[in-house]
Structure 1
């Protein structure tokens, strides 16, 4: 079936018959038209005896759509933003990202300065399409940019271009068909129970408490630094309400959460004992346990944990698995849960992951069972 396409945006006309286009003027079959309506959906009409009538109808629809107030606003947005340079557009876009924490803003600025601005700083916004995005990913690959950074840079570019797409700058999504960088987190390096015991006792009392909170309750570093004895809401439940922000060095809302949000996590008896022992031994300030030794009015800095970790490794004070980092204590919590058949959905919630996919990618290999085991279990049901 042949089709005659008119100027961009007007639509097309065609006949559903066996005759070639050259014979259409003498062919008895009716003309049909195809166009996008005011809602952007494809529509068809039939019953036109001549090309002129079909074209006239297409022109009528096109003009009505063009005069639609919504399309007028869209045209104004295109006129404003399409010639705008990428850096200028991002400045406006960034001003609207009011939910980003200081550390997230710092991370965004780093990606812009080191990756997105060098590639697109002066590019006009209306010139982006899937080829431009593909070329950007290929350039990062050639330059040896790490997969995690590639993925983060692509995600930020995606957010910016989708914002422009919603404004109507592109008829087609400039990300359609683009294969994003394939970042697959490395397997977490997790200490054994005996290694964990050796590491926690190699540091001072502060370090020991932090290790207990991370390995026993699944806390992040900053969350452990904000430990408060008043957050023990039951003998076996601790309520995580805040963290010490690495950038501002002050108490802040939890990662991916708004102020006032919290998550309740299991509180093993040993960890509860560690919290209460530390509070009884060293005292608290408004319930907070870990304060700066130079100024008791401020929280303990994130650097404290890193410095203790480096000292323990440098002096060989404990057996530490190859490749393990401080986050390995939190990985131990996930491992301990999953190997004892606690559902991964619960683990994801306790760890504060924004998506179950994150938990699954990192800890899938720790989940008990296998395809072979599944086959055995399913066979029992079939044989019943």
Structure 2
């Protein structure tokens, strides 16, 4: 159960994502058994234990909470390099304002950021296990309008801190390696939640909740619901409505400013 409980407990994965990964492990297990490489079925035992566990809903951010988070990223934490602080600021804004998944942010190539036209061309995703690949679904290949203020952050970062890396990514460690989700959560996201007093061991704010927030903000700001799935990289409107546009479609949601 550790392969499920640990990433969920730390906020690295949503429960349904952790469960989906175990289902993939079951497929590998069944393949190994079919070809005589395994006799036991350990993954089946884990799935049996998970049957009684309901997926926990993502804890939604309020407008004020997101304002607080974005404001906090403007300040460099004590003992942090300016490069790390600026990179965290960009990552959090790309999630909260543009609705990008962490994997899409980590896989974003510098060449796919059109600063002149103000467009993010989302063509890749990165995960620790799969490396650089295409987005989560075919619908994930998309262009998203880049807000001017985030464009200015990226321009400054590229000028002051960015170093060429083997994959040409915007987000990378100082040594040029892709920044894994686990490393980001442990060294950047959780410290940010602590800085603003939002860390709670029993009811964590997932980074992915910023994507939920972004989708809700698009709806609240008057973007046609039929356009939002394409902007979020969803294949169907139902996915957007059921999963993302919730709880925040109120007049005060229009008041947010970067």
TM-score w.r.t. the length of structure 1 is 0.45
Q: Cα gap change, 1:106/1:144 in structure 2, threshold over 3 Å: closer, same or farther?
A: closer
User: What is residue 218 of structure 1 aligned with on the other side?
Assistant: 99
Q: Cα gap change, 1:330/1:143 in structure 2, threshold over 3 Å: closer, same or farther?
A: closer
CA distance in 1 between counterparts of 2:237 and 2:26 reads: 25
C-alpha deviation, 1:112, in angstroms = 5.6
User: What is residue 246 of structure 1 aligned with on the other side?
Assistant: 128
CA distance in 2 between counterparts of 1:343 and 1:206 reads: 31
| 1:267-303 Cα distance to aligned partner (Å, 9 max, x none) | 111111111111111124264222233x42x322222
Q: Tell which structure's C-alpha radius of gyration is larger.
A: 1
Q: Cα gap change, 1:143/1:309 in structure 2, threshold over 3 Å: closer, same or farther?
A: closer
Paired residue secondary structure (1:195): helix
Which of the residues 162, 168, 189 maps onto 1:309? 189
Give ranges in structure 1 of 5+ residues lacking alignment.
Answer: 1-102, 122-138, 149-183, 370-384
Do 2:94 and 2:105's aligned partners in 1 also have CA atoms closer than 8 Å? Answer: yes
User: What is residue 145 of structure 1 aligned with on the other side?
Assistant: 52
Q: Does 1:194 align with 2:67?
A: yes
Do 1:292 and 1:301's aligned partners in 2 also have CA atoms closer than 8 Å? Answer: no
Paired residue secondary structure (1:305): helix
User: What is residue 150 of structure 2 aligned with on the other side?
Assistant: 271
User: What is residue 168 of structure 1 aligned with on the other side?
Assistant: none
Do 1:223 and 1:243's aligned partners in 2 also have CA atoms closer than 8 Å? Answer: yes
C-alpha deviation, 1:241, in angstroms = 0.8
User: What is residue 242 of structure 2 aligned with on the other side?
Assistant: 361
CA distance in 2 between counterparts of 1:302 and 1:356 reads: 27
| 1:300-321 Cα distance to aligned partner (Å, 9 max, x none) | 22222211222333xx311438
User: What is residue 7 of structure 1 aligned with on the other side?
Assistant: none
TM-score w.r.t. the length of structure 2 is 0.65
**Which runs of 4 or more aligned residues in structure 1 lie more than 6 Å from their structure 2 counterparts after TM superposition?**
none
Q: How does 1:316-327 map to 2 (within 5 A)?
A: 316-320=194-198, 323-327=204-208
Paired residue secondary structure (1:366): coil
Do 1:190 and 1:328's aligned partners in 2 also have CA atoms closer than 8 Å? Answer: no
Give ranges in structure 2 of 5+ residues lacking alignment.
Answer: 1-17, 34-46, 78-84, 252-258
User: Highest relative contact order (Cα 8 Å, sep 6+), 1 or 2?
Assistant: 2
Question: Alignment length, in residue pairs?
Answer: 203
User: What is residue 207 of structure 1 aligned with on the other side?
Assistant: 88
Do 2:58 and 2:209's aligned partners in 1 also have CA atoms closer than 8 Å? Answer: no
CA distance in 2 between counterparts of 1:191 and 1:324 reads: 14
CA distance in 2 between counterparts of 1:318 and 1:364 reads: 24
Which of the residues 178, 181, 188 maps onto 1:299? 178
CA RMSD, aligned part only? Answer: 3.5
Paired residue secondary structure (2:135): coil
| 1:207-233 Cα distance to aligned partner (Å, 9 max, x none) | 111111111211100111123332133
CA distance in 2 between counterparts of 1:143 and 1:218 reads: 30
Q: Cα gap change, 1:109/1:360 in structure 2, threshold over 3 Å: closer, same or farther?
A: same
Q: Cα gap change, 1:220/1:320 in structure 2, threshold over 3 Å: closer, same or farther?
A: same
